[in-house]
Amino acid sequence: MTREIHIIGGGLAGSEAAWQLAEAGVRVRLSELRGSGEMTAAHQTDSLAELVCSNSFRSDDAESNAVGLLHAEMRALGSLIMAAADANRVPAGSALAVDREGYAAAVTARLAAHPNVEIVRERVDALPASGLAIVATGPLTAARLAESIGAATGADALAFFDAIAPIVHHDSIDMDICWMASRWDKGDTKDYINCPMTKAQYLAFRQGLLDGDKTEFKQWEKDTPYFEGCMPIDVAAARGEDTLRYGPMKPVGLDDPKTGRWPHAVVQLRQDNALGTLWNMVGFQTKLKHAEQVRLFRTIPGLAGAEFARLGGLHRNTFINSPQLLDATLRLKSVPHIRFAGQITGCEGYVESAAIGMLAGRFAAAELRGEAPAPPPLTTALGALLGHITGGADAATYQPMNVNFGLFPPIDGRMKKGDRKKAYTERAKADLLAWRDALRS
């Protein structure tokens, strides 16, 4: 195969996509702005696939952890990022942590040495008008390219900030305490889970929001304003004793079936994925530190045993509304010669970004061979993450997400929590190998 593909952005996703294509015999032009005299606000070096913050790829436990399973699946498909991470591993218990310089140097050297890869240090300012391309410019996409993406996708479908509300696994919510109703009891469908609070519980909870440890905005994040609609719950709490009761915790019209009366306040959760396994705490975006969120949110009636698929946060983060914009193989529906990959698609994390880069590269290679690219099964970590991004997630509330077992089709039947996780990973491993081997034959 001699066709060329243009990859924009040499981060985790772009580097993995380039490797997959190059190994499939496709010539790659990899454009990376670092090294051209420019730098993003978070990167420090010119190395490809630089880790901008922690040196951890998180859990490497492929038996009972979703990101560990994703590691294993990527290794099984010949991932460059995983190979470089494994070769530069440093001790970190069951986590995969790396010597960041050795790891990034290994990725850069292997791509630079590949005969099918041309690395060009340049900033790209517009989506290519023709030719197959993969956009993998990440959460800090340079401004002009972001404008071009906004023009192609519609400004409403491109976000510059994430305002993340926590997400709870449905099976960890105590439905003996909570009940289903419509939002503020308007409409016919009972779509919301309601957690009732007495006045004493509400006041203690508000105080917890005020007193809790918060993460600070970085200097370069301070310049990116958030909309009133995305105001952190802790900021709203500070505005007055009852501000939350007139906002996200409004109890109006919500008769608690146990008392027949409105509670003093409610916390509402709304279904967040098509499978109904994940529920979003409506309006609970917050800058509280993660440990503080777990402690405080478990004081909410009905959430004492809550398991969180995602905790809240607010960061600068450029990402598109993928469930609305992308097809099942990451192509922009309106401009199908362009694929998106990495954090800009709304996945979250180093490993997830590289994983989506891997799939974008493999899909593009299949397309160039004249084949219809086959997404991995939804029962695998790769397939579950991809399925969430490309349609499983609710487009109206779409926010970045790590891989987690809540994205997988549930396995029915009663099981202990540990056994259930093992059942997910065993099913995933078998299904991934069957998918990979079917593509080879």
Ligand X SMILES: Cc1cc2nc3c(=O)[nH]c(=O)nc-3n(C[C@H](O)[C@H](O)[C@H](O)COP(=O)(O)OP(=O)(O)OC[C@H]3O[C@@H](n4cnc5c(N)ncnc54)[C@H](O)[C@@H]3O)c2cc1C
Interacting residue ranges for ligand X, rule: CB under 6 A: 8-14, 31-34, 40, 42-43, 52-54, 123-124, 136-142, 145, 342-344, 349-350, 353
- CB-nearer residue toward ligand X: 14 or 251: 14
**What is the spatial order of strands in the sheet that 89-90 belongs to?**
56-59, 95-98, 89-90
- CB-nearer residue toward ligand X: 8 or 393: 8
- CB-nearer residue toward ligand X: 40 or 286: 40
**Burial per residue of 279-316, b for 16 or more beta-carbon CB atoms within 10 angstroms, e otherwise:** bbbbbbbbbbeeebbeebbeebbbbeebbbbbbbbbbb
Q: How far is the CB of 193 from ligand X (least distance, A)?
A: 29
Q: How far is the CB of 345 from ligand X (least distance, A)?
A: 8
Distances (CA, A) of 412 to 252, 420, 423, 429: 36, 9, 11, 18
Q: How far is the CB of 385 from ligand X (least distance, A)?
A: 13
Residue linked to tokens 């609305």: 324
Q: Which residue is closest to ligand X by CB?
A: 11
**What are the residue ranges of helices labelled H in 142-217?**
143-153, 199-211
Q: How far is the CB of 221 from ligand X (least distance, A)?
A: 8
Strand-pairing partners, residue 339, are 134, 331
Q: How far is the CB of 89 from ligand X (least distance, A)?
A: 16
Q: How far is the CB of 112 from ligand X (least distance, A)?
A: 15
The CA angle 399-402-406, to the nearest 5 degrees, is 95
- CB-nearer residue toward ligand X: 13 or 281: 13
- CB-nearer residue toward ligand X: 116 or 141: 141
3 state SS of 323: helix
Residue linked to tokens 């499978």: 275
Residue type, 382: L
- CB-nearer residue toward ligand X: 53 or 372: 53
Of 12, 220, 217, 9, nearest in space to 100 by CA: 12
